[in-house]
Amino acid sequence: MLIDALVTRLTISEIAARHLDQWRDQTERGELQLWELPPAVQAWYFAGWAEAMQQAREQARIYEHQLNVLYMQAFSPNDRREEYQRRLDHHFAEQAERFFTEPLIEGPALRRAA
């Protein structure tokens, strides 16, 4: 195929591929713990985990937005306006509470101004 000709793929030896497959199988079966793997293999595992978590967070954000849109569409225009106002009131109440309860940070600039 034309795509295969344009894309070069990195390769590893057959022995390395066999070791990686064996380690993956043993890890999945619980016969081998992640900490027992070589550090380079652990790094690949955790990089994949981090990528998967980022994708899951993004998908959850999209679903949450779609859910909010559908939830708000269930309201009549007047009820929707009241719900928007309720959410805004709640948001600003949280912001005010956080602002007035956080301790002041004293730094060199604040001391000079006093």
Residues lower than pLDDT 70 in the chain: 1-5, 106-114
Cα–Cα distance, 66 to 63 (Å, whole number): 5
pTM: 0.52
Cα–Cα distance, 22 to 25 (Å, whole number): 5
Phi-psi region of 10 (alpha: psi -120 to 50; beta: other; left: phi over 0): beta
Q: What is the mean pLDDT of the chain?
A: 88
Q: Which amino acid is at 88?
A: L
CB of 78 closer than 8 Å to CB of 67: no
* pLDDT per residue as tens digits for the range 28-51: 999 999 999 999 999 999 999 999
CB of 34 closer than 8 Å to CB of 49: no
